[in-house]
Amino acid sequence: MSPERPRRVPRIGPVSERERAGGRVVVVLVLVLAILLGGGYAAAYYAAGDKLPRGTTVGGVDVGDRTAARAAWVLRQGLRDRAHRPITVTVGGRTERVTPREAGLAVDYRASVDRAVQQQSWRLSSMWDHYAGGEQLDPVVTVDEVRMDALVARLDAEDGTPPRDGAIAFHRDGPRIRAPRLGEQLDAAETGAALESAYLQDDPRADLTLHQVDPDIDAGDLAKAMTDFANPAMSGSVRLLFGRTPVRLQPSDYAPAIALRAKHGTLVPHLYESVLRRLVGDAVAADGAPVDATVALVDGRPQVVPAQRGVTYHQADVDDAFLRLITRDLGKRSLTVRSRVADARFTTRDARRLQIRDKVSSFTTYIPSTARRDTDLARAAEAVDGTVLKPGETFSLDGTVGSGPAPTTVPRSWRRRSSTRCSSPGSRTSSTRRTRRTSTATRSAGTPPRSGARWTCASATTRRTASSYTPTSRPARRRSRAPSP
């Protein structure tokens, strides 16, 4: 085996000047290329600035490579026609044109542009998105809810049908049912979305649908209310006991005082307290309320009519229990009302202190007879008859007969002509009485009789009344009697 020969290692000689120069050229080229690339990237960055990405469109309008302010102006010009184009609306087979302003629709141009604005960055991906990543965006549409709601309400009123709640009314002959009715109305949210979707289209159209709407009070609610309240309430009379004074009210009496009102989808019993107060008050007054003393003319001479004691009570005690009382079973519809015996406010002694002793005057007017006139004048005479005018008081025909128009009082024109107010200053007491369209006056003792309007205020009013009913066939005759000394 021959011995291994040693390997020869080449000798590295000194680098030549030519090789050294070539290396420097390569380094310079790399540096120049890096500077060029960096400079170009920086130039592209500063060129993008705060502009929108190239190729960006909003609603089909090219707004790319522009500042936000400039892009908003361009967008406004591009959408000007479509933004004001009326929308053709069809509801229930009827068609009409609705302007965007009426629907409360508008374009927010600056907000539409701001959606496409990108935050500037040195990252390569951001630069790429700016120069090659433009998006297709929809405009930002604003909705004026007040105008939109008003439009939906108008379309509902013209083309829809509101639901009608069932109801129960109480009449003297019993309860009466008003049947519920289904309705057809637009859905506000659905209508708004359809109009907003049609807005800015080349041919804006919106087909709106009427939906069936159930009433709040339906047939089931009516049946429950009839069973729980209406039928029991009108099934029989109720008895109110004021001390020893009983008052019986029939369903026909208290029917105007009760009702069923809709509340949260159900019918709730309701009591008209003023009607019940008047009804119970009239019944108690007829049976046992205190009666004030007064002065009446008997055979032409004033006489004191004594006062009468009666019972008083709190109306709230009746109101609180009445709705429960009328729904009780027959035989249990009785209520004892807390009451007490009370004297009249104007006692017999008060009436005697007036010392009314003489009749001052009497006045009679004859007028042609008609059914309405006889009824009105008889009721007015009944209201005025027996009025006592105390010292310092003022007599008013309007205040005594009533100033509101009502078939149970005198006509409005008659009252208007008869609104003279008369008083008796300087006298101690006077009284006015009318019978069969005859007006009389009395005076207190110790006061000398006087003639004229001061002592014949009711007579003066009567003359005004008679003059408003001048007969056509024959002149009205008047007969008067001078005051007795």
* pLDDT tens profile 151-172: 999 999 999 999 999 999 999 9
Best mean pLDDT range from 115-124, 193-202, 466-475:
193-202
For the segment 273-292, what is each residue's pLDDT rounded down to a tens digit?
A: 999 998 988 777 665 667 78
CA-to-CA distance for 461 and 397, rounded, in angstroms? 8
Q: How far is CA 316 from CA 276, 327, 332, 335, in A?
A: 11, 19, 21, 13
Percent of the chain's residues with pLDDT above 70 = 67
What is the SS3 assignment for 92?
Answer: coil
Q: What is the pLDDT of residue 484?
A: 39
Q: What is the pLDDT of residue 67?
A: 80
Looking at the fold, whether 439 and 326 belong to one and the same domain comes out as no
Looking at the fold, whether 331 and 358 belong to one and the same domain comes out as no
36 in a domain, yes or no? no
Residue that wins the pLDDT comparison between 47 and 63: 63
Looking at the fold, whether 48 and 126 belong to one and the same domain comes out as yes
Torsion sign, CA atoms 386, 387, 388, 389: negative
pTM above 0.75, yes or no: no
- Mean residue pLDDT across the chain: 75
243 in a domain, yes or no? yes
Which string of b and e fits 47-71 if b means at least 16 CB within 10 Å? ebeebbbbbbbbbebbbbbbebeeb
Domain span at residue 342 reads 219-294+311-349
- Report the candidate in 162, 53, 32 with the shortest Cα–Cα distance to residue 115: 53
pLDDT band at 335 (very low <50, low <70, confident <90, very high): very high
CA contacts within 13 A on the Cβ side of 255: 18
Phi, psi angles (nearest 5°) of residue 193: -65, -40
Number of domains into which the chain is organized = 3
Residue 202 DSSP one-character state: S
Looking at the fold, whether 203 and 276 belong to one and the same domain comes out as no
Q: How far is CA 198 from CA 179, 185, 205, in A?
A: 40, 21, 6
Q: 141 has which bridge partners?
A: 107
Could you tell me how far CA 44 lies from the centroid of its own chain? 66
6 in a domain, yes or no? no
Is 368:469 a contact under the CB 8 Å cutoff?
yes
Looking at the fold, whether 366 and 467 belong to one and the same domain comes out as yes
Structure tokens given for 341: 């015996």
287 in a domain, yes or no? yes
Looking at the fold, whether 62 and 207 belong to one and the same domain comes out as yes
Looking at the fold, whether 58 and 204 belong to one and the same domain comes out as yes
Mean pLDDT in residue range 107-111: 91
- Report the candidate in 333, 342, 287, 292 with the shortest Cα–Cα distance to residue 313: 342
CA-to-CA distance for 454 and 437, rounded, in angstroms? 20
Q: What is the pLDDT of residue 25?
A: 64
Q: Is residue 441 predicted with pLDDT exceeding 70?
A: no
Q: At what angle do helices 124-132 and 17-48 cross, to 10 degrees?
A: 60
Looking at the fold, whether 248 and 364 belong to one and the same domain comes out as no
Residues 132-136: contacts with CB under 8 Å, at least 24 apart:
132/54, 132/55, 133/53, 133/55, 134/52, 134/53, 134/54, 134/55, 134/56, 134/57, 134/64, 135/53, 135/56, 135/57, 136/56, 136/57
- Report the candidate in 152, 150, 147, 139 with the shortest Cα–Cα distance to residue 82: 139
Is 294:387 a contact under the CB 8 Å cutoff?
no
Is 248:198 a contact under the CB 8 Å cutoff?
no
Structure tokens given for 409: 């009082």
- Report the candidate in 89, 274, 122 with the shortest Cα–Cα distance to residue 196: 89
CA-to-CA distance for 386 and 431, rounded, in angstroms? 8
Q: What is the pLDDT of residue 440?
A: 40
- Report the candidate in 41, 49, 45, 44 with the shortest Cα–Cα distance to residue 68: 49
Q: What is the pLDDT of residue 448?
A: 38
Q: What is the pLDDT of residue 34?
A: 67
Q: What is the pLDDT of residue 474?
A: 37
Looking at the fold, whether 342 and 372 belong to one and the same domain comes out as no
- Report the candidate in 468, 311, 339, 346 with the shortest Cα–Cα distance to residue 397: 468
CA-to-CA distance for 445 and 306, rounded, in angstroms? 20
167 in a domain, yes or no? no
Q: What is the pLDDT of residue 388?
A: 76
Helix (H), strand (E) counts: the chain = 18, 28
Looking at the fold, whether 59 and 101 belong to one and the same domain comes out as yes
Is 210:155 a contact under the CB 8 Å cutoff?
no
Is 152:160 a contact under the CB 8 Å cutoff?
no
What Rg, from alpha-carbon coordinates, does the chain have? Answer: 49
Is 258:248 a contact under the CB 8 Å cutoff?
no
Looking at the fold, whether 143 and 204 belong to one and the same domain comes out as yes
Q: What is the pLDDT of residue 381?
A: 79
Mean pLDDT in residue range 20-43: 63
Q: What is the pLDDT of residue 473?
A: 33
Q: What is the pLDDT of residue 26?
A: 64
Give the H/E segment covering residue 378.
helix 371-384
Looking at the fold, whether 399 and 449 belong to one and the same domain comes out as yes
Residue positions counted in the chain: 485
